[in-house]
Each structure stands twice: as structure tokens, then as C-alpha cells.
Amino acid sequence: MSLATLARHTLSRGATPAATYALLARLGHQPLPVARAVCLALDIPHAETTRRLADCHDALLADPRPNSEADTGELLEALGVFDIPVTLDATGLAVVDLFLVAIEALGGIRPGHQHGLTRWFTTGNLTAAYLSLAATHPLPRTGDPAQYWTTLTSAGELLTTTPNPDPRLKYALTHCRTQATRT
């Protein structure tokens, strides 16, 4: 039985990707093939799996500490290695394009915030990304507040046209419109 088949079976029984990684690694399999098997069992494309694992191989998978399987699995999950990518429709792609313009207009972004946004874009959680950006303010010296709030207003208007929009979007959109009129 292949590692991907074992991973698929473990996931089908309700295990998280992190727990699946830990279980297979504890069975004596090498970290890289286990991480690859979990990704493939989640139907993450091979090329994307390879890219993601290359990004964290040296730090997490090359020389693991003994009995660190659970920690490694959790770190891989937190880094987004096991995030299942979604294909966005035309509206979703337009929203992400607007988000990228808004991020540029911020004038700088913390790496952790950027990481979270990237994960939300990958998984299609555009509402979370919007709410996060709406709660952020452009940097005073390097940001462009007018462009930031106008762009977020446009993104919010697109998001509210989707079927069953999250009610929090309405309040965040109102906040962005208010900020846009003040700049």
C-alpha cells in the first residue's frame, strides 16, 4: 500500500493533515515522503506540493528531531503546506487583484499578516482576507490611504455581490467607505 493511500485512508477516518503526518512518520517513514503523501492525499497538485515542500525541507524535514512528528505535522499545517487550493471564479480573481493593489498601497506589511493573506487567497477565504485588510491601516509615511480605502471599497462591493455574503462584510465595507471619504 502506498503512503498516499495510507494518508488518504487516515484522512478519511477524520484525522487532520497534521495528525496524519505524525502517524505515518511514527511508523518509520521518512519525513519528506510522508509530507508529500499527505499533500497528494489532499489532492494538492504535484508541482504545488513540490514547491511547498522545497520551501520548508531544510528547516523541518531534512534532519528531524526524535519524537518530533506531531510538532512537525502541526508546523507544516500552520505554514500552509497542507492548504487545499481552490480555483477562484472571475469575481474571486478580481477581488484578489484588488487586494494586491491594496496591499501595495499599505506601504508595508508584516510577514505574518502577508502569510495569512496568502493562505486565505490559496484556500479561497476571501471574506477573512477582506476583514483583515479592512481592520488594517496604511503606514503614515509609505502608504497611500486614498488608494488603499478606495480599492478595499471596490473589493468589498464585489464580495457583497456573491451569493449569501457574510454579514460582517457589510460593516467592513461601510468602514472602508467612511475611511475613503476621509482621505
What pLDDT digit, counting tens, does each position of 56-107 carry?
A: 888 888 888 889 999 999 999 999 999 998 999 999 999 999 999 999 999 9
Q: What does DSSP assign to residue 13?
A: T
pLDDT tens digits for range 102-151: 999 999 999 999 999 999 999 999 999 999 999 999 998 999 999 999 99
Distance CA 127, CA 113 (A): 15
**CA 27 – CA 10 distance, rounded (Å):** 13
Q: Which three cell numbers stand for residue 164?
A: 449569501
Least Cα distance to 21 among 65, 63, 81 occurs for 81
- Contact by Cβ (8 Å): 128, 120: yes
Burial of 27 from C-beta contacts in 10 A (0-12 / 13-18 / 19+): exposed
**Cα separation, 65 vs 125, whole angstroms:** 34
Measure CA of the first residue to CA of the last residue in the chain; give whole Å: 61
